[in-house]
Amino acid sequence: IFPLQKNAVIYLKVLSIQQKMARQSHEKHASDFHDNYGNAVLTSGATFYITVWTYETTQIGKEWILSPVGRVTPKEWKH
């Protein structure tokens, strides 16, 4: 019966450690930069990205056909 008691004590110690860790993980931690400004930084970055690409695709007038076939003519060979 001694090994059974020994295993039970070890199991209870492990269980109590797991319970302590679970309690600590649910405690309120001090807020940091990401808690205070994370959503604002994410939103402003996404807004900037969308704004730049909207301008790029509508105002600059790029030709989106990337193949040069038919647009590039070879130059005369100079000896």
Mean pLDDT, residues 20-47 taken together: 82
**pLDDT confidence of residue 50:** 95
Decide which of 37 and 73 is more confident: 37
Structural domain spans, the chain: 2-56
Contacts of residue 56, Cβ cutoff 8 Å, sequence gap at least 6: 62
SS (H, E, C) the chain: CHHHHHHHHHHHHHHHHHHHHHHHHCCCCCCCHHHHHHHHHHHHHHHHHHHHHHHHHHHCCCCCCCCCCCCCCCCCCCC
Q: What are the structure tokens assigned to 11, written together?
A: 């199991």
pLDDT at position 47 over 90:
yes
pLDDT band at 62 (very low <50, low <70, confident <90, very high): low
